[in-house]
């Protein structure tokens, strides 16, 4: 069926199966492959995107259900030549990743974590970032990245 | 050899691929764009042993969009089974009607869309002829045999049995470790596209040439006609070494269809279509004198493998040589069950085998009423007790001392259960970590431009290790450039071959190759600059010239800009191809790398020295007095691994390894239904791995160490050692907290009730 998705500020028309997830729509129909598939079961968080500013698992959201919402993916945070979003910059500087596969989901979840007001202490960050698995084990540096980016985001 | 300044090597540097990773622009295999792909979905066996009488495919074919269904009946003869990197033989998939294990690939459905392929795959109706399977150790029908010496050796030094009998202090215990799965967050994907007779494969890989060479044999092609691309890999941990079964069938599906085919296998399929860490059992006997000197060490292991495979990890290769001991005996047995073939998983031998040794050492320390650190000190050695060879370097005790100091070990009350805070029992434990210093051959092409930019091309693999960055650092260091002036291309069989990114060997292999190539460039520039009739360096000894800060420098402040020095030897850019064959490997090992065969100089089987990385790991656990919940508030690891190229990414690797160790000790276990021989928790909600809230303070100490024998740059591996001591350190800490000695992993609440 034909749908229109508003992704990173741009309206995109696409034809999808009713069963197509938002994740597959982004990756396979819109070539926005920054959002990753790690389990397709809502278990790992690699597919996290923002929908109307809230974090959602795009593998657990049907594309048709995303019509009429504002979707932000990792590609929407900074243009190719632009300065990075403070959270992206913090992940880069803290080495808060290794393979980088869970990283887009971690960054989107981390931005939401700050916006939700769930980044007030290391313990709180750990708890509210626990929906995003990192098999390389970058967790302490992810906490440090969120801590680094939070004041910069609040100032912006 | 004055090959350049040492400014870059050893200085922390941000990843050069970092921006690509944080912006989502890094293309992992399934992110690569192919035109108009069809989608594949695997059908896997619901039984663990038997035969396929056939399939009913009418329902599946009727799903709109279905294009093709591959089974043994229509494509079985078109491929041979893949050859594993170790263990000889493996199980089949579509090559025959035989079912060797649950979750085996038995059909591939191809359709216009992922959704249609998935639906049709669930409508394929296999007709099974089922037999009762054997799941694991002790299952009826499991076949045990003694592992013969081949890939791995057994050690017999002195008379371990009589020395054990005569020993004043003894430990004589049995231990076990569970099945574990790598579960990298990137799924197992394969995209195949044909262009005439040429095949391009996008697949996450730790060895693109291995995948190419292996697949060429499987589908009877010339390797040169296969192009494998794997530029970014979303975690590997050993799971993406050799070609596995899926790739050939996706290539054949794409050939039949005349259209690219894309497979993204599901998370549960990842438990059975690739390898895993098999469960192990151990019997350890330690004998010691009253003052703690080991007099006997006997270690016998049992490992599960598939029916046709001889795969085993034989971690006795390491446990036999960690401590001074005059009487050593090792033995390994393999047990064949109806299971998929296991394979390498982070520190494949040491993770399961160092656990029993290091718990036994803690038990011995308790029996002797001796501090466990002091027991290690008494049995430290500069000589490999299994072979009598010297260690090229060994900094085990500096690691113990620095980690103990940071941890505050001297404040430990050794009595179990004696330390507590409120309802939490506190336990402190430690263990030795050891991992062989390995290295493989590699070739590299470096292009140096007059503007002071370099391009390094090498079919190495960045599986999260920071390979892109350590290559850039090494080239910058040796060519006298800034890191940002070096671009690096990896993960592509159109680039010069590098070996397998595994065995903690990759940084040593690729950085030594890059340094050698840079030395050759320097020698060419220096040679020309000193015999020219124009320029400031004329007449100097070329060996005294160095490249730094974009210029060629001689003694006495004489120098000339790089562009001028370069113009003398090349009209534009200088392109240089170089091969590096580490000491001890035969000249043909580089050809083997191109053919996709693994060749590696291993730290435990060198002719000249024994080369190992050592470390010491300390852990605090807290066990809740009533609920028995186990937490790990802090861990300290100290490691000495020779030259560290990039301390920033090295820290991440050590830390990640230690977090893997927490997972291994407390969380991870693939549970197997004993009757059905089926993995039960085949997803990452029920196969538990650490989440952010499980991890608190992880401290890493990099103990300085110079080793001029291990390889020219003095690099030992760091990717695996971080996990090695954690299993035992945590178990030992749990004993200290509770008085309960847990000899089977993982340690769960039920073990402490």
Q: What is the pLDDT of residues B259-286, one digit of tens each?
A: 999 999 999 999 999 999 999 999 999 9
B554, B627: one domain: no
The contacts of residue B197 (CB under 8 Å, 6+ apart) are: B225
- With beta carbons under 8 A apart, name residues in chain A contacting B464: 97-100, 136
Q: Do B649 and A95 touch (CB under 8 A)?
A: yes
How many structural domains compose chain A? Answer: 2
Q: CA-CA distance, B546 to B476, in Å (whole number)?
A: 13
Interface test with B, best of A96, A137, A140 (most B CBs within 10 A): A137
Please answer whether residues B45 and B85 qualify as being in contact, where contact means their C-beta atoms are separated by less than 8 angstroms.
Answer: no
Is B466 within 8 Å of chain A by CB? yes
Q: Mind listing the pLDDT tens digit for each residue in B162-186?
A: 999 999 999 999 999 999 999 999 9
Q: CA nearest B32 in A: which residue? A: A33
B586, B628: one domain: no
With a cut of 70, say whether residue B121 has pLDDT above it: yes
With a cut of 60, say whether residue A73 has pLDDT above it: yes
B680, B721: one domain: yes
Helix, strand, coil in percent for chain B, rounding step 5: 30, 25, 45
A8, A63: one domain: yes
Of B30, B33, B185, which has the smallest distance from its Cβ to A133's Cβ?
A: B185
Classify residue A11 by burial, with Cβ atoms within 10 Å: 0-12, 13-18, 19+: exposed
With a cut of 90, say whether residue B488 has pLDDT above it: yes
B641, B678: one domain: yes
Is B267 within 8 Å of chain A by CB? yes
Smallest CA–CA separation between B635 and chain A, in Å?
12
**H or E stretch including B41?**
strand B38-44
> Does A118 fall in a domain?
yes
With a cut of 60, say whether residue B2 has pLDDT above it: no
CB pairs under 8 A between A and B: 180
Mean pLDDT of chain B: 97
B699, B616: one domain: yes
Q: Which of A53, A76, A99 is the last residue of a domain?
A: A76
Place of tokens 């100032």: A155
Instruction: Tell me which residue of B529, B515, B453 sits closest to B487, measured CA to CA.
Output: B453
Is B209 within 8 Å of chain A by CB? no
Place of tokens 């030094």: B157
Mean pLDDT of the region B650-669: 98
pLDDT for the residue numbered B4: 40
CATH number where A128 lies: 1.10.150.120
Q: Mind listing the pLDDT tens digit for each residue in B53-110?
A: 999 999 999 999 999 999 999 999 999 999 998 999 999 999 999 999 999 999 999 9
Classify residue B489 by burial, with Cβ atoms within 10 Å: 0-12, 13-18, 19+: middle
Place of tokens 């199966």: A17
pLDDT band with cut points at 50, 70 and 90 for residue B7: low
Is A59 within 8 Å of chain B by CB? no
Is B18 within 8 Å of chain A by CB? yes
Please answer whether residues B346 and B736 qualify as being in contact, where contact means their C-beta atoms are separated by less than 8 angstroms.
Answer: no
- With beta carbons under 8 A apart, name residues in chain B contacting A127: 692-693
B574, B546: one domain: yes
Please answer whether residues B518 and B507 qualify as being in contact, where contact means their C-beta atoms are separated by less than 8 angstroms.
Answer: no
Please answer whether residues B306 and B129 qualify as being in contact, where contact means their C-beta atoms are separated by less than 8 angstroms.
Answer: no
Q: Which of B221, B254, B271 is the last residue of a domain?
A: B271
Q: What is the DSSP letter of B98?
A: E
pLDDT for the residue numbered B534: 86
A95, A72: one domain: no
Q: Mind listing the pLDDT tens digit for each residue in B678-688?
A: 999 999 999 99
Please answer whether residues B202 and B29 qualify as being in contact, where contact means their C-beta atoms are separated by less than 8 angstroms.
Answer: yes
Instruction: Tell me which residue of B233, B205, B162 sits closest to B493, measured CA to CA.
Output: B205
Which phi and psi (to 5°) does residue B656 adopt? -60, -40
Q: CA-CA distance, A23 to A74, in Å (whole number)?
A: 12
With a cut of 60, say whether residue B1 has pLDDT above it: no
A30, A70: one domain: yes
Q: CA-CA distance, B348 to B351, in Å (whole number)?
A: 6
B490, B627: one domain: no
Q: Which tokens sit at B429?
A: 């434990």
pLDDT for the residue numbered B150: 87
Q: What is the DSSP string of B605-623?
A: S-SS-B-EEEEEEEEEEEE
Q: Mind listing the pLDDT tens digit for each residue in B23-39?
A: 999 999 999 999 999 99
Q: Which of A36, A52, A76 is the last residue of a domain?
A: A76
SS3 B703: coil
Q: CA-CA distance, B170 to B694, in Å (whole number)?
A: 36
> Does A113 fall in a domain?
yes
Instruction: Tell me which residue of B243, B193, B250, B255 sits closest to B213, measured CA to CA.
Output: B243
pLDDT band with cut points at 50, 70 and 90 for residue B6: very low
pLDDT for the residue numbered B151: 84
B390, B500: one domain: no
Domain that includes residue A60, residue range: 2-76
CATH number where A50 lies: 3.10.20.30
Q: Say what percent of chain A tops pLDDT 90.
A: 97
Interface test with B, best of A98, A143, A146 (most B CBs within 10 A): A98
Q: Do B116 and A17 touch (CB under 8 A)?
A: yes
Instruction: Tell me which residue of B167, B177, B161, B432 sits closest to B298, measured CA to CA.
Output: B161
In angstroms, what is the C-alpha Rg of chain A?
A: 15
Q: Which of B547, B576, B595 is the last residue of a domain?
A: B595
pLDDT band with cut points at 50, 70 and 90 for residue B242: confident
Q: CA-CA distance, A146 to B38, in Å (whole number)?
A: 40
Q: What is the DSSP string of A54-86?
A: EEEEGGGSBGGGGTTSEEE-GGGTS-TTSPPPH
Please answer whether residues B91 and B341 qualify as being in contact, where contact means their C-beta atoms are separated by less than 8 angstroms.
Answer: yes
Q: Do B31 and A27 touch (CB under 8 A)?
A: yes
Residue B720 among the catalytic residues? yes
Domain that includes residue B473, residue range: 18-25+439-595
Q: CA-CA distance, B603 to B716, in Å (whole number)?
A: 9
Query: What are all long-range contacts of B32-36, with beta carbons under 8 Å and residues at least 24 apart?
Result: B32/B191, B32/B202, B32/B229, B33/A31, B34/B191, B34/B193, B34/B202, B34/B260, B34/B262, B35/B260, B36/B259, B36/B260
> Does B200 fall in a domain?
yes
**H or E stretch including B374?**
helix B372-378
Mean pLDDT of the region B659-674: 98
A70, A120: one domain: no
Q: Which of B570, B595, B620 is the last residue of a domain?
A: B595
- With beta carbons under 8 A apart, name residues in chain B contacting A20: 113-115
pLDDT for the residue numbered B3: 42
pLDDT band with cut points at 50, 70 and 90 for residue A156: confident
pLDDT for the residue numbered B46: 98
> Does B707 fall in a domain?
yes
pLDDT for the residue numbered B261: 98
Smallest CA–CA separation between B327 and chain A, in Å?
39
CATH number where B677 lies: 3.30.365.10
Neighbours of B33 (CB within 10 A): 10
B114, B200: one domain: yes
- The question of ipTM being above 0.95 is answered as yes
- With beta carbons under 8 A apart, name residues in chain A contacting B465: 98
> Does A81 fall in a domain?
no
Interface test with A, best of B12, B19, B21 (most A CBs within 10 A): B21
B586, B637: one domain: no
B449, B419: one domain: no
**Could you check whether the bond before residue B273 is cis, i.e. omega within 30 degrees of 0?**
no
B456, B434: one domain: no
The contacts of residue B533 (CB under 8 Å, 6+ apart) are: none
Place of tokens 């992992």: B28
């Amino acid at each position: 069926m034909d749908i229109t998705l508003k992704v990173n500020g741009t309206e995109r028309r696409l034809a999808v199966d009713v069963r197509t997830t938002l994740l597959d729509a982004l990756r396979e129909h819109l070539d926005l492959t920054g959002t990753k598939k790690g389990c397709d079961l809502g278990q790992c968080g690699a597919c996290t995107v923002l929908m109307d500013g809230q974090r959602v698992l795009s593998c657990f959201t049907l594309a048709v259900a995303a019509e009429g919402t504002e979707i932000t993916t990792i590609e929407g945070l900074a243009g190719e030549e632009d300065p990075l979003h403070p959270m992206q910059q913090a992940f880069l500087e803290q080495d808060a990743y290794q393979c980088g596969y869970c990283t887009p989901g971690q960054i989107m979840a981390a931005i939401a974590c700050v916006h939700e007001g769930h980044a007030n202490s290391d313990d709180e960050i750990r708890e509210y970032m626990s929906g995003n698995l990192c098999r390389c084990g970058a967790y302490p540096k992810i906490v440090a990245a969120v801590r680094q980016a939070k004041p910069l985001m609040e100032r912006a | 050899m004055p090959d350049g300044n040492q400014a870059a090597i050893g200085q922390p540097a941000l990843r050069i691929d970092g921006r690509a990773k944080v912006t989502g622009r890094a293309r992992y295999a399934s992110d690569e764009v192919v035109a108009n792909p069809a989608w594949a979905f695997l059908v896997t066996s619901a039984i663990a042993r038997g035969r396929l009488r056939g399939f009913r495919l009418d329902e599946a074919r009727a799903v709109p969009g279905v294009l093709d269904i591959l089974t043994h009946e229509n494509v079985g003869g078109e491929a041979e089974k893949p050859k594993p990197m170790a263990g000889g033989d493996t199980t089949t998939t579509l090559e025959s009607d035989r079912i060797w294990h649950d979750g085996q690939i038995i059909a591939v459905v191809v359709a216009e869309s992922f959704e249609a392929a998935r639906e049709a795959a669930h409508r394929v109706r296999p007709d099974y002829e089922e037999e009762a399977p054997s799941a694991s150790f002790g299952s009826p029908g499991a076949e045990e045999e003694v592992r013969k010496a081949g890939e791995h050796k057994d050690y017999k030094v002195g008379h371990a049995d009589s020395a054990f009998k005569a020993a004043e202090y003894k430990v004589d215990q049995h231990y076990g470790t569970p099945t574990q799965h790598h579960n990298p967050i990137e799924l197992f994907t394969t995209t195949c596209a044909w262009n005439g007779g040429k095949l391009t494969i996008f697949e996450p890989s730790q060895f693109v040439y291995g995948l190419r060479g292996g697949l060429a044999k499987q589908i009877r092609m010339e390797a040169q006609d296969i192009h494998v691309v794997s530029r970014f890999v979303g975690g590997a941990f050993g799971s993406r070494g050799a070609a596995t079964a899926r790739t050939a069938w996706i290539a054949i599906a794409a050939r039949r269809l005349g259209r690219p085919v894309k497979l993204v296998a599901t998370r549960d399929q990842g438990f059975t279509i690739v390898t895993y860490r098999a469960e192990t059992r151990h019997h350890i006997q330690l004998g010691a004198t009253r003052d703690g000197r080991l007099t006997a060490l006997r270690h016998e292991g049992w490992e599960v493998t598939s029916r046709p495979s001889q795969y085993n990890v034989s971690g006795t290769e390491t446990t036999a040589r960690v401590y001074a001991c005059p009487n050593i005996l090792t033995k390994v047995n393999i047990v064949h069950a109806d299971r998929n073939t296991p394979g390498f998983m982070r520190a494949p031998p040491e993770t399961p085998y160092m656990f029993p040794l290091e718990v036994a050492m803690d038990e011995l320390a308790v029996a002797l009423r001796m501090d466990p650190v002091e027991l290690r000190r008494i049995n430290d050695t500069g000589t490999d007790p299994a072979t009598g060879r010297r260690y090229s370097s060994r900094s085990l005790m500096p690691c113990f001392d620095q980690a103990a100091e940071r941890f505050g070990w001297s404040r430990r009350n050794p009595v179990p259960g004696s330390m507590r805070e409120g309802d939490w029992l506190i336990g402190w434990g430690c263990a030795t970590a050891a991992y062989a210093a390995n290295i493989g051959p590699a070739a590299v092409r470096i292009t140096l431009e007059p503007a002071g930019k370099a391009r390094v091309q090498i079919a190495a693999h960045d599986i999260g290790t920071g390979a892109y960055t350590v290559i850039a650092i090494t080239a910058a260091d040796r060519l006298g450039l800034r890191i940002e002036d070096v671009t690096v291309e990896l993960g592509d069989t159109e680039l010069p071959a590098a070996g397998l990114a595994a065995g903690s060997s990759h940084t040593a292999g690729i950085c030594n190759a890059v340094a050698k190539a840079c030395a050759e460039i320097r020698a060419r520039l220096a040679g020309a600059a000193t015999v020219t009739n124009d320029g400031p360096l004329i007449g100097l000894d070329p060996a005294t010239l160095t490249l730094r800060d974009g210029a060629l420098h001689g003694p006495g402040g004489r120098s000339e800009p790089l562009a001028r020095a370069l113009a003398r030897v090349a009209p534009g850019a200088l392109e240089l191809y170089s091969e590096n064959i580490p000491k001890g490997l035969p000249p043909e090992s580089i050809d083997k790398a191109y053919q996709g065969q693994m060749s590696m100089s291993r730290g435990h089987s060198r002719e000249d020295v024994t080369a190992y990385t050592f470390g010491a790991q300390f852990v605090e656990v807290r066990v809740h007095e009533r609920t028995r919940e186990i937490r790990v508030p802090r861990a300290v690891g100290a490691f000495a691994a020779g030259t560290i190229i990039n301390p920033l990414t090295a820290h991440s690797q050590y830390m990640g390894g230690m977090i893997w160790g927490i997972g291994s000790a407390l969380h991870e276990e693939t549970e197997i239904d004993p009757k059905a021989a089926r993995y039960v928790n085949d997803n990452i909600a029920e196969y538990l791995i650490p989440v952010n809230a499980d991890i608190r303070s992880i401290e890493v100490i990099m103990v300085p160490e110079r080793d001029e024998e291990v390889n020219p740059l003095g690099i030992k591996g760091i990717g695996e050692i971080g996990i090695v001591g954690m299993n035992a350190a945590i178990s030992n800490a749990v004993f200290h907290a509770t008085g309960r000695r847990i000899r089977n992993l993982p340690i769960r609440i039920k073990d402490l009730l």
